[in-house]
Structure 1
Amino acid sequence: MFSYRHAFHAGNHADVLKHTTLIAILQHLTIKETALMAFDTHAGAGLYRLDGDFAQTSAEALEGIVKLQDLAGPVPAALQAYLDTVASFNTQKPWKVYPGSPFIIQKFLRERDKLKLYEIHPTDAKTLSGNIAQLEAGRQVAVLREDGFEGVRKLLPPPSRRGLLLCDPSYEMKTDYARVPAMVDDALQRFATGTYAVWYPIIPRPEAHDLPKRLKTMAQRSDRPWLHATLTVKSSKVHTDAQGNEVRPGLPASGMFVINPPHTLKDALKETLPFLVKALGQDSNAASSLDSGS
């Protein structure tokens, strides 16, 4: 149950999509004066070393954030905001620190805003608490060692009636594919106007294929606007190497499904996604998609 560690995947192409989208959402939601409450249902450790054992074992950041460190020429505004955010956690290049969603969210919050972080993995929860303590953010940030799927139920709707919920489980457990839409459905009934951002892997399994369809149906049934973005960097096909060994491609693609997205998000991603295809694509299967509805 506790085998997944995001440290192996920090800064990969999925994080680029997830965190670029997250920052674009936060930039808009923090314009309004009213306090915002943010929730991160699967917070992880919060900060990751790109030169650490975990990251170097998988080397996934090499095909993600590392490729984006020294881009030449103009960069889409949403991607530039993401790169500036990562850079702010580093003093020089090559970047050695990658901020997870807890630190990215906190960076954009105002003093009046709140952040609830859920992490059930015992080691990551302990590390997250230590990392957050360094912020000296006081009551603004709360680390909750409990199941995020269940924990958010107790806090919706937030007192200010303005909220952002990020849900990005590992999906290592097949039950996550059912728990995500169940949680979102319940959340929409409690707090219909909240912004819900769900990350998911695009892999050859029916549960992954059905998840965005279920979220879309949910949004339409609730008469809420939605946006669905995907980024594919390589083929998902298994191939055989020169020694005859079967080689699996790893994660080839991922998606972000946002319910009640800011009206600015579609244009931001419309400009950014094709750029990411060119920058991060590993073969001719690299592609992106963007769909929305109201």
Structure 2
Amino acid sequence: MFSYRHGFHAGNHADVLKHIVLTHILQYFNQKDTPYWFIDLHAGAGLYDLEGQWAQKKGEYVDGIARIWQAKSPPPAVMHYLDMIRDLNPDGNLRIYPGSPWLALEACRSQDKLRLFEMHPNESNILRQNLDQRTVRVPRQTAVFGDDGFAGLKGHIPPPSRRAIVLIDPSYEDKHDYRRVIDTMKDAMVRFPTGCYAIWYPQVQRREAQELPRQIEKLAGKNWTHVSLTVHKPGADGLGLHGSGIFVINPPWTLAATMKETLPWLVRTLGQDERASYKLDFLTH
């Protein structure tokens, strides 16, 4: 249960896609004065050292954030994402990479709330330590739970303001995570059907991963955006991550057009062979 550590994968191509989408959603939510909650069901440690032993062991960030760090004239959504990371690396050298809770913390305003779930005891402890060093307002607006985020979501939706972004991005190392995502979304769409739900999934050679987007679409109603990015052809051994996708229910109305502009650039910049490609599907009520 506790074997997965995101530090090995921080800043890889899947993080790039997920965090570009997330930062766009956060930017959109900030356009209204009404407060919102950001609920992260698999928060991780919040910050990652790309020069540390975990990130260096696999070096996945080399084919992710490192490829776009010095990009010339990237699309606006990529530029906004990079600006948030540059704030953590003021000397211009890429070393610190923010996870989803940290990007949300940087984007959220004082009236917004963060509810962060992380079951791995070491990761949740590091997350708390990172947050404690951030600012004086963090403890008042942020709560960290060392619990199962799938189960914990039920007690946090709908929030008082009835505005929320819910991020669901388990590691999927346990094949039961695919089923738990669907079960969680079935319950969430009853409790809080107007929430914004961002569900990340890996592109791996596994039947459950291929079926998950279709299953989510059946639950999503009439307002959703689905994007995926493939960076190389599947490995001959059937192992490894060759891409990823993110399915957003009740997305900002601007998301589809933003990703239509952004995804071709990501294919050119992150693609590793002739199989690099993207998909963009959406339905708007």
Aligned letter for 2:125? K
Deviations 1:105-139 (A, max 9, x none): 01111110000000000110111110111123121
1:210 aligns with 2:211: yes
**Size of the alignment, in residue pairs?**
282
Of 234, 237, 240, which aligns to 1:236?
234
Which residue pairs with 1:160 in the alignment? Answer: 161
Which residue pairs with 1:62 in the alignment? Answer: 62
Structure 2: state its 5+ residue gaps.
Answer: none
Which residue pairs with 1:106 in the alignment? Answer: 105
SS for the counterpart of 2:198 is: strand
Paired residues of 1:234 and 1:283 also in contact (CA < 8 A): yes
SS for the counterpart of 2:115 is: strand
Which residue pairs with 1:83 in the alignment? Answer: 82
User: What is the alpha-carbon distance in structure 2 between the residues aligned to residue 278 and residue 249 of structure 1?
Assistant: 24
Using the TM superposition, name which of 132-141 and 38-47 deviates more: 132-141
Of 259, 272, 289, which aligns to 2:249?
259
SS for the counterpart of 1:19 is: helix
- Return the offset for 1:56: 0.4
Structure 1: state its 5+ residue gaps.
Answer: 240-247
Which residue pairs with 2:271 in the alignment? Answer: 281
Which residue pairs with 1:151 in the alignment? Answer: 152
- Return the offset for 1:176: 0.2
- Return the offset for 1:237: 2.8
SS for the counterpart of 1:291 is: strand
Which residue pairs with 1:125 in the alignment? Answer: 124
SS for the counterpart of 1:229 is: strand
SS for the counterpart of 1:135 is: coil
TM (norm. structure 1) is 0.94
User: What is the alpha-carbon distance in structure 2 between the residues aligned to residue 226 and residue 219 of structure 1?
Assistant: 7
- Residues 155-234 of structure 1 correspond to what in structure 2 (within 5 A)? 155-220=156-221, 224-234=222-232
Which residue pairs with 1:44 in the alignment? Answer: 44
- Return the offset for 1:181: 1.3
SS for the counterpart of 1:82 is: helix
SS for the counterpart of 1:254 is: strand
Deviations 1:219-273 (A, max 9, x none): 13xxx4011000000110316xxxxxxxx66210100000000001011111111
Aligned letter for 1:49? D
SS for the counterpart of 1:17 is: helix
Paired residues of 1:69 and 1:94 also in contact (CA < 8 A): no
User: What is the alpha-carbon distance in structure 1 between the residues aligned to residue 158 and residue 274 of structure 2?
Assistant: 45
Which residue pairs with 2:93 in the alignment? Answer: 94
Paired residues of 2:166 and 2:197 also in contact (CA < 8 A): yes
Paired residues of 1:235 and 1:249 also in contact (CA < 8 A): no
Aligned letter for 2:241? L
SS for the counterpart of 1:215 is: helix
Q: CA RMSD in A?
A: 1.0
User: What is the alpha-carbon distance in structure 1 between the residues aligned to residue 53 and residue 200 of structure 2?
Assistant: 25
User: What is the alpha-carbon distance in structure 1 between the residues aligned to residue 55 and residue 196 of structure 2?
Assistant: 31
1:7 aligns with 2:7: yes
User: What is the alpha-carbon distance in structure 2 between the residues aligned to residue 41 and residue 151 of structure 1?
Assistant: 8
TM (norm. structure 2) is 0.97
- Return the offset for 1:293: 1.0
Deviations 1:55-86 (A, max 9, x none): 000100000001111112x2111011111111
User: What is the alpha-carbon distance in structure 2 between the residues aligned to residue 250 and residue 205 of structure 1?
Assistant: 11
Percent sequence identity over aligned pairs: 48
After superposing on structure 2, the runs of 4+ consecutive aligned residues of structure 1 that deviate more than 3 Å are none
1:71 aligns with 2:61: no
Paired residues of 2:227 and 2:246 also in contact (CA < 8 A): yes
Which residue pairs with 1:244 in the alignment? Answer: none
SS for the counterpart of 1:44 is: coil
Which residue pairs with 1:23 in the alignment? Answer: 23
User: What is the alpha-carbon distance in structure 2 between the residues aligned to residue 123 and residue 161 of structure 1?
Assistant: 32
User: What is the alpha-carbon distance in structure 1 between the residues aligned to residue 173 and residue 239 of structure 2?
Assistant: 17
User: What is the alpha-carbon distance in structure 2 between the residues aligned to residue 287 and residue 94 of structure 1?
Assistant: 29
